[in-house]
Amino acid sequence: MKISEVLTELSFHGRKCTKDCSGHMAGYAWAKQHPNAVANSHSPSFNGGAEVHKDQVAAGKVTRPKVRTAQGKFAPNPPKKPTTAKPTPPLPPV
């Protein structure tokens, strides 16, 4: 891509996406949580996001999810939700 070209669509790590790239981001997050699974959903964008993460792991270059706006700028990452999970008590001996 030439610097002089103007982007007219959103992209997620170079892949086209619609609306806000939420499908790609969801697939990427899912793949991080399920490293040995293969995404096979009805959503091509979800599967694409999972594939991006898989490709990054294979290349040894895992980065934070990047969404590029139509103006060519990277969109800010959504704020992380605080986790309020309670620790799981140990199981009784068998």
What total of structural domains would you count in the chain?
1
Question: How confident is the model at residue 36, as a pLDDT?
Answer: 87
Question: Residues 68, 45: contact at Cβ < 8 Å?
Answer: no
Residue 75 lies in a domain: no
The model carries a pTM of: 0.61
pLDDT of residue 44: 92
Structural domain of 30 = 10-68
Answer yes or no: is 54 within a domain: yes
Asked whether residue 15 is domain-assigned, the answer is: yes
pLDDT tens digits along 45-81 = 999 999 999 988 888 887 766 666 666 666 665 555 5
Residue 92 lies in a domain: no
The answer as to whether 85 is a domain residue is: no
Of 5-19, 20-34, 51-65, the poorest mean pLDDT is in 5-19
Report pLDDT for 61: 82
Residue 2 lies in a domain: no
Nearest to 67 by CA among 6, 30, 25: 25
Encoded amino acid at 92, one letter: P
The span from the CA of 37 to the CA of 73, in Å, is 32
d(CA 51, CA 24): 9
For residues 49 and 53, what is the distance between their CA atoms, to the nearest angstrom? 7
For residue 32, what are its two tokens? 């991080």
